[in-house]
Structure 1
C-alpha cells in the first residue's frame, strides 16, 4: 500500500488554500473552524470539496 501524506508541495500556499476552503465552505453553508473540523459530516466535507473543484474548473476555463 502506498504511503499517503498531506504535505503541501508549496508550503507557502497553505494560507491561500485555507482562505479558499473557508470561502467555498461559506458559499455552501458549512461552518468551518480554524483547526480541527473532523466533526463535519461526509456530506458537508464533500460539498466543500466539490465547491472548491467547481471554482477551480471555472477559473481554469476562464484562462483558456
Structure 2
C-alpha cells in the first residue's frame, strides 16, 4: 500500500500551490481550502501558516 504524502500542487496553483496540495491530500475541492485560508487570514495566523507551509512542503514530483 502506498503512503499518502503532502505536496504542493503543480496543477491547482494560485500562489505557491499549498492550498491545492492540501485539497489533493484530503480529496476535497481546492476552493474550500482557499476559503478556509481566507477566514484564517483575517486573524493573521493563516498568512503565517501559508508561508511556512510554502517553505516546508515539497513540490509535487514530476510525473
TM-score (norm 1): 0.34
TM-score (norm 2): 0.34
Structure of higher CA gyration radius = 1
Question: Which structure shows the higher helix fraction?
Answer: 1
